[in-house]
Structure 1
Amino acid sequence: MTRVLLHLGLHKTGTTSVQKFLEDNRAAIEPATEVLLPDRTREISRWVWRFYQLGDPDVLQVIREDLQQQLAGLQLSGRDLVISDENLLGPMPRAEDSDPYPAAATLIGTYREAMQVLPEPLQLTVCLTTRTPQDWATSIHAHLARKIRAVRLTEDRDSFTARLTRNGFARTLAAIRAELPDLDLHVNEMETLIDQPFGLAQVFVDFLNLPDNRMLRPATHRHRSPAPGLIDRLIALNRSDLDEDALATAKQALLLDASEGAPAKEYQR
């Protein structure tokens, strides 16, 4: 049997932390499980963004074929497969739609079709992580506010989070369950996972079922949101009349100063 764990976010629910856990523990994991992280699924996620922009079913066919080609090239030899990339669910929500991931069910169905190229029998589990709606919305607002390029968020935190919380991920989960009723869907609360022995990575440890977990390095929390005061200053910069290059320079300087000398990461998406 080929077991597949498809981890699709949600955004801002510790996805970077668990992907770092998988990367740090490759030596222990890969004898039994192939691991595909965003560096290997980036081209597919770009097509996912294109599908959100165009809504063109032909793009879904490209996604299906590209994933089939990638999966067919894997040398599993009886190993399982873990795929973790939140961007395969769609762009980070911007509180513009009643459903933050309106194409989620369609995309998951497309991935499931593509996986038919894997050795049978196939057992697919789709994993989503959630967090309390207010914390989730606040973290997304902070992430979008600090982006150096591509996004120039000017909306204040309260109005953004109120709308995203109102149009929260419950709609996405309901749509997935309605459109894919036979899907093996696991939804885990971030707040519950944190208390587990391996923290946010506990879902992966349970799936891997390794003979000895003592060799695994624990997951550490990464990309914590900046303080609210810093977010307010970033929003003020976004509202300024600075051109894109000047804005990028000003935001990088502000983030560098706030981190006391640590280089500011340039978020491109």
Structure 2
Amino acid sequence: MTRVVIHAGFHKTGTTSVQSTLRANRALLEPHLRVYLKADFDALTEATRAFCAAPEDDAALNAVGRYAMRFFRRIERDDPRPILMSSEDLSGHLPGRRRRPGYHAAPRIMSVIAENARHRFGDNLDLIFFFSTRDSDTWLRSTWWQNLRSTRLTDDLDLYATRPEVATDLNGTVEAVAKAVAPARVMSESLDLSRDRREGPLAPLLDLFALVPEIRDALAILPPVNAQPVSGLDEVFLALNRSALSEENLRDAKKNLRRIANKQS
């Protein structure tokens, strides 16, 4: 059996930290685990985000299937090592980004990916979808911060929370995906639990593979990546977004402030 684990989300649940640690330990893991990150299937994530933005477009959904199959065809079926794919963009866009909708399309996306994985690996496939989740309030604030720093969002947190596209039930999405991809398994763990483990949010993913303890003990564990650096910077960024600064000056100001904040954290 070929175990394929697809870590497909969600944004702002420790996924960047997971991928950074996998990237840093790729050579150590390579004899035991085939690791594929976003750069390895970039065309597929472009297709999933395009379908997220246009969920009524059958051509966009067909593109998801086409690029999923192109990716799976590159994978050697006779290799005994299990497979781990990790990219939150497989579930679509970060909710709230330029008012694009959230994860409503994720069940259909995962269903198409599962269908193409089965076509490639047949009865030898052991397919698992894994989702990192998070407490709803802290997740909402984290997406607000991410959109503040990456776009010219001018909504405060209270107004942002009323947007329909950010009213996302992560656990409900996981349940919907489970129905869509059956008989494949769907698993999840909250960042609120995994962050206290030695490998952080990577730990529940590693639990899905029969790695010997010596390999896990040898992993270089990186500090959290892409976390909000210091309290209060969000209000500064909100004021900057509402200012008359040009896009270039706004971008530079945010970059400099983040650099200073990261040094202090």
Q: Same fold (TM over 0.5)?
A: yes
Aligned twin of 2:102: 100
| 2:44 pairs with 1:41 | no
- Answering whether residue 145 of structure 2 is matched by residue 142 of structure 1, we say yes
- State the match for 1:80 in structure 2: 82
Change (3 A) 1:177 1:155: same
Quick one: structure 1 residues 180 and 72, their matched pair in 2 at CA, closer, same or farther if it must change by over 3 Å? closer
TM-score relative to the length of structure 2: 0.87
Change in CA separation of 1:235 and 1:218 when aligned onto 2, cut-off 3 Å: same
User: Would the alpha carbon gap of residues 137 and 182 (structure 1) be closer, same or farther in structure 2, given more than 3 Å must change?
Assistant: same
Deviation at 1:162, TM superposition (A): 6.0
Q: 1:223 to 1:160 in 2, by over 3 A?
A: same
What runs of 5+ residues in structure 2 fail to find an aligned partner?
none
**1:182 — aligned with what?**
183
* Paired residues of 1:201 and 1:219 also in contact (CA < 8 A): no
When normalised by structure 1's length, the TM-score is 0.86
**Distance in 2 separating the partners of 1:7 and 1:190:** 14
Amino acid in structure 2 at the alignment position of 1:81: I
Task: Please state if 1:13 is matched with 2:13.
Answer: yes
2:257 partner letter: L
Provide the residue aligned with 1:216 in structure 2. Answer: 219
SS at match of 2:12: coil
**How far apart in 2 are the matches of 1:225 and 1:7?**
23
Cα distance 1:46–1:142, how it changes in 2: closer, same or farther (>3 A)? Answer: same
Task: Give the Cα separation in 2 of the matches to 1:71 and 1:177.
Answer: 21
Kept after mapping to 2: 8 A contact 1:2/1:120: no
Q: CA deviation at 1:67?
A: 1.9
Call closer, same or farther: CA 1:156–1:70 in 2, change over 3 Å.
Answer: same
Does residue 247 (structure 1) correspond to residue 218 (structure 2)? The answer is no
Instruction: Report the Cα distance in structure 1 between the residues aligned to 2:148 and 2:48, rounded to whole angstroms.
Output: 23
Q: Is 1:133 the counterpart of 2:166 in the alignment?
A: no
What is the DSSP-based 3-state SS (H/G/I as helix, E as strand, rest coil) of the residue aligned with 1:223?
coil
For each residue in 1:153-176, what CA deviation from the matched residue of structure 2 results, as whole angstroms up to 9, or x when unmatched?
A: 111023324657854324323422
Q: What is the distance in 2 between the residues matched to 1:255 and 1:28?
A: 32
Residue 158 in 1 paired to residue 158 in 2?
yes
- Is the 2:36–2:85 contact (alpha carbons within 8 Å) kept by the matching residues of 1? yes
Give the direction of change, closer, same or farther, for the CA distance of 1:12–1:101 in structure 2 (3 Å limit). same
Distance change (3 Å), C-alpha of 1:167 and 1:24: closer
SS of corresponding position for 2:39: helix
Amino acid at match of 1:157: L
Alignment match, 2:204: 203
**Contact 1:41 / 1:85 at 8 angstroms: preserved in 2?**
no
- Take 1:251 and 1:7, find their aligned partners in 2: how far apart are those partners? 30
SS of the equivalent of 1:207 reads: coil
Give identity over the alignment, percent: 28
RMSD of aligned Cα (Å) = 2.5
Q: CA distance change for structure 1 residues 40 and 191 in 2, over 3 Å: closer, same or farther?
A: same
> Which residue of 1 is the match for residue 60 of structure 2?
59
Q: Could you tell me whether the CA contact under 8 Å between 1:145 and 1:152 is conserved in 2?
A: yes
Alpha-carbon distance in structure 1 between the residues aligned to 2:258 and 2:28:
36
